[in-house]
Amino acid sequence: MGGSRGRRRPLEPRLLALLLIAAGTAGTQPQPASGVRGRSVLLSPALPNGSSVKTVEWYFRAGAGKKIQVAEFGPEGFRRPDPRDRFKQRLEMPNATALRIGGLEPGDSGVYEVQIKYDSTTEVDDPSFNLSVYEPVPPPLIQHQLHSRGAQGCNVTLRCSLPPGSPAWATLQLGDASGTPWGQRVDGQTLQLAIPASALNATYTCVARSPAEEQSCSVDVKALCEHEAGRQRWYICLGVLAAVVGPLAVLLCLRRRRRRRRKAAEGAALSVAEEPQYAQVLR
C-alpha cells in the first residue's frame, strides 16, 4: 500500500505484502468493539498527543472476505470511495479519525482497519477494531407468585424471564443490591423469598445482558406484597358493599313492582282493547 514498495522489483512487493500480512496478524490484535443491530457505533482510534493528521483511511473486512476501503478523510474532508458498497449512507466521520456506522446490520461484523498518516512523520499507524453486531436485548420480565403475606412478612417467588423469541445468549441475573439474606435461589432466574416485614422495602432487579448492552427490570417487594394485600382488601370492600347494597336493592325492587302492579290495574282497559289482535296472532 505504501508508495515505496512500488519502486521495487515486480516480484518483491508480493513477498513484502505477505510478510506484512503475517506481521500484522502476529502483531497487534484488533481492539474488540460491539454494537447492537439497528443502532450506531463509533470507532475512534486513539492518537498520539499533539499529532496532526494528514489522511485517514478506513478499511473493512468481513471474516475471510476481501478487504475494501470504505471511507477516507483527507484535505477535502470525508469521502466514500464506493458509495454503493454495503454501507451506503450509513457511514460518517464526525472528525478526521473517528468512524460512525449507523443502522448496524449483522453483516457489519468484521475487522475495521484504519490507516493514519501524519503531517509530521512518515510513520503510519494502523490500529484496527473487531466489531461484533449483536441482536438487541429486550427488557426482561419479572413474574411473581405470592404464597403468603402476614404480620411475619411476605413469602413470594420471583422469576425473571425474557419475552419469547428473544436471543438465547442473553444472561439473566436476578438479585437485590444488598445481597438478600431472605432468598433461596431456585435457579439463575428464580428466587424464593421469605422476607420479614421489617425488611420489605427491598428492590429486586433482573438484568439481561449481551456483550453489547444490558436491559433491566425491577420490582419493589413492598409494593408487590402490599398491592396483593390491597387487592384482597378491595375484595373485602366489595363484599361489604354487596351486603349493604343488596337489601336496599331488594327493597327498591319490591316497591317498584308494587307501583307497576297498580299501574297495570289502571291500564287494564287498554289491554282489553288490544286483546283481539293478540288472539289473531295466536291463531
Interface contacts to ligand NAG, rule CB under 6 A: 30, 42, 44, 47, 49, 94-95, 97-98, 111, 130, 132, 147, 155, 194, 201-202
Shortest reach from residue 239's CB to ligand NAG, in Å = 25
Residue 36 vs 202, nearer CB to ligand NAG: 202
Residue 13 vs 199, nearer CB to ligand NAG: 199
Strands 31-36, 128-134: parallel, antiparallel or unpaired by DSSP? parallel
Tell me the CA distances in angstroms from 94 to 37, 89, 260, one per residue in order: 21, 14, 84
Shortest reach from residue 157's CB to ligand NAG, in Å = 8
Residue 193: which of 160, 162, 161 has the closest Cα? 160
d(CA 180, CA 203): 10
Shortest reach from residue 36's CB to ligand NAG, in Å = 15
Residue 80 vs 149, nearer CB to ligand NAG: 149
Residue 13 vs 194, nearer CB to ligand NAG: 194
Residue with cell 476501503: 69
Which residues are registered as beta bridge partners of 110? 131
Residue 13 vs 44, nearer CB to ligand NAG: 44
Shortest reach from residue 87's CB to ligand NAG, in Å = 18
The C-alpha cell of 161 is what? 424471564
Residue with cell 432466574: 189
d(CA 259, CA 109): 83
Tell me the CA distances in angstroms from 67 to 36, 42, 64, 110, 119, one per residue in order: 23, 20, 9, 10, 26
Contact 181, 170 (CB under 8 A): no
Shortest reach from residue 247's CB to ligand NAG, in Å = 39
The C-alpha cell of 49 is what? 498527543
Give the HSE-up count for residue 169: Cα atoms under 13 Å, Cβ half-sphere. Answer: 7
Residue 223 vs 245, nearer CB to ligand NAG: 223
Shortest reach from residue 149's CB to ligand NAG, in Å = 10
d(CA 3, CA 55): 15
Residue 155 vs 215, nearer CB to ligand NAG: 155
Shortest reach from residue 242's CB to ligand NAG, in Å = 30
Q: What is the dihedral of CA 235, 236, 240, 242, to 10 degrees?
A: 30
